[in-house]
Structures are given as structure tokens and as C-alpha cells.
Amino acid sequence: MKEPAASSREPQRKAEIRIKVEWCKGCGICVELCPKGVLEFRGSHPVAVRPQDCILCLDCENHCPDFAITVEEKSDEEGS
């Protein structure tokens, strides 16, 4: 039997990534750990260049030595 159509799948989880540049020292741990390449350096600090690719693994948030990154799941009501 075939899998259900794509429309019946769970909605894709969306992330809101915040980087407090005033706390960030630019160590690059978050950029290196991100399994989806969501973060890249722009100047001396990381930027979420592909937030739609975030899988909410929280590796960047959990390993940031400066607590400069927060990742939260956005609900559909918060803007799709």
C-alpha cells in the first residue's frame, strides 16, 4: 500500500533564530555545528541565512558559550 499524500503529513516545523550580536564573540561554534548550514558568518558574527532549513536540533543554542543564540519553534499563527 502506498504512503499517504504529502498534504496529509504533519506541517513543517518553523524556527525563529535570534542572535544577540552584542553577546557574540564570533567563535564560530554555531556555524560549524549546524547540520543544515542555516548559519553563516557575515562580517564578524553569524547570521541565519537559511532559517527555513532549521530542524530545531538546538545544537547552536546549546553549545554557544556566550548564550547569544536562541531558537524557538514558531506556530503557524505567528506567521507562515
What is the structure's pLDDT at 55? 97
In a domain, 79, yes or no: no
22 burial level (CB within 10 Å; 0-12, 13-18, 19+): exposed
What is the structure's pLDDT at 80? 47
CATH assignment at residue 17:
3.30.70.20
**What residue ranges of the chain have pLDDT lower than 70?**
1-11, 76-80
- 33-44 tens-digit pLDDT: 999 999 999 999
In a domain, 3, yes or no: no
What is the structure's pLDDT at 75? 77
The residue range of the domain holding 21 is 12-74
Cell of 2: 502506498
In a domain, 6, yes or no: no
What is the structure's pLDDT at 23? 97
What is the structure's pLDDT at 3? 54
In a domain, 67, yes or no: yes
**SS3 of 6, please?**
helix
Q: What is the number of structural domains in the chain?
A: 1
